Amino acid sequence: MYALSHHNEGLPAIGELPASCVPRFDGTVISFASGEEVVGAGDPTKNYFRVIRGLFRAVNFTPDGRRQVFAFYTPGDFCGLEPDGTHQLTIEAVDCATMAILPRDGYRLRMNDPEVNSALFEGATRALALTIDHMMMIGRSSAEERLAWFLTMLAARSGGSRAPVLELAMQRQDIADYLGLSIETVSRTFTLFKDRGLINLPHKRLVQILRLDALARLAAADRDAAPIHLELWEPEPAAAAA
């Protein structure tokens, strides 16, 4: 369990949050150290969770130790939306991060509140939609396509910039287990992308995207597409008017 060790050593309290982050959900906010467990597989499903700060991951293990990372959760993301009495996934903090704990009982009592309902339902269906993509990728893509998909997704999440610099909070093993690859293959594919000029790796945890267009095309798993040329991915409409 997440152990009520809310050691908020100088971390921002709930007061600092943007209002949009915890709308009409009153929950306890708890901080987790890197690697610390929020819930473990098999724990009773007492709460929902919402990320306040930092990065979390949902993982699952086979009996013989193979590991699959099911999702990464960033601020604003809901998680813990599982049916039945026990959690199927373990949720852990990737780096030092904070989470709002939202007791399920409270929601059950408010089952008639349409806003709560649609928020929960929306969360579940949105997770489902993402998972469809994820599964498609794992089931049918090459190593290159998988990593390209991952980087493209991170770039999209991180906001609008056309050549974003991504800070990878997770380590290679997490990426590998998220993409269904071995850590070595992930590493080799990073190197490959660097050698091809698609990215820069100023630091192991820092990825500068140089050719988002090329990555996006790879990610789309469209092997019939033209083999990459140097057009801008999304020319500014303002500039185009000149």
Partner DNA sequence: CGGAATGTTGAGACTAGTCAACCATAGTGG
Partner DNA sequence: CCACTATGGTTGACTAGTCTCAACATTCCG
Q: Which residues bind a second copy (CB under 8 A)?
A: 60, 62-64, 66-68, 70, 81-84, 88-89, 111-112, 114, 117-118, 120-122, 124-129, 131-136, 138-140, 180, 220-225
What is the spatial distance between Cα 75 and Cα 51, in angstroms, rounded to a whole number? 5
Segment contacting DNA by CB under 7 A, of 54-62, 120-128, 180-188, 224-232: 180-188
Tokens 């991952």 belong to 150
180 makes contact with DNA (CB under 7 A): yes
Query: Closer to DNA at the Cβ: 67 or 104?
Result: 67
Kind of pairing between the strands at 47-53 and 78-79? antiparallel
Closest distance of CB 167 from DNA, Å: 12
Closest distance of CB 5 from a second copy, Å: 28
Segment contacting DNA by CB under 7 A, of 2-10, 94-102, 155-163, 197-205: 197-205
What is the spatial distance between Cα 191 and Cα 197, in angstroms, rounded to a whole number? 10
Query: Closer to DNA at the Cβ: 65 or 159?
Result: 65
What is the spatial distance between Cα 50 and Cα 79, in angstroms, rounded to a whole number? 6
| 221 binds, options a second copy, DNA, none, Cβ within 5 to 8 A by partner type | a second copy
What is the spatial distance between Cα 218 and Cα 198, in angstroms, rounded to a whole number? 11
Query: Closer to DNA at the Cβ: 117 or 173?
Result: 173
Binding mask of the shown chain, residues 127 to 166, with x at each position contacting DNA by CB under 7 A: ---------------xxx----------------------
171 makes contact with DNA (CB under 7 A): yes
Query: Closer to a second copy at the Cβ: 117 or 161?
Result: 117
Residue 16: count other Cβ atoms within 10 Å of its Cβ.
10
Segment contacting DNA by CB under 7 A, of 20-28, 67-75, 181-189, 229-237: 181-189
What is the spatial distance between Cα 27 and Cα 107, in angstroms, rounded to a whole number? 11
Segment contacting DNA by CB under 7 A, of 51-59, 111-119, 120-128, 169-177: 169-177
DSSP 17: S
* Residue 80 phi, psi dihedral angles, 5° rounding: 90, 10
For residue 209, which of 196, 199, 219, 195 has the smallest C-alpha distance? 199
Binding mask of the shown chain, residues 204 to 223, with x at each position contacting DNA by CB under 7 A: xx------------------
What is the spatial distance between Cα 35 and Cα 72, in angstroms, rounded to a whole number? 13
Q: Which residues contact 223 (CB under 8 A, 6 or more apart)?
A: none
Q: Which residues contact 208 (CB under 8 A, 6 or more apart)?
A: 163, 164, 165, 166, 199, 200, 201, 202
Binding residues with DNA: total (CB under 7 A): 21
Residues in the site for DNA, rule: CB under 7 A? 142-144, 171-173, 180-188, 190-191, 201, 203-205
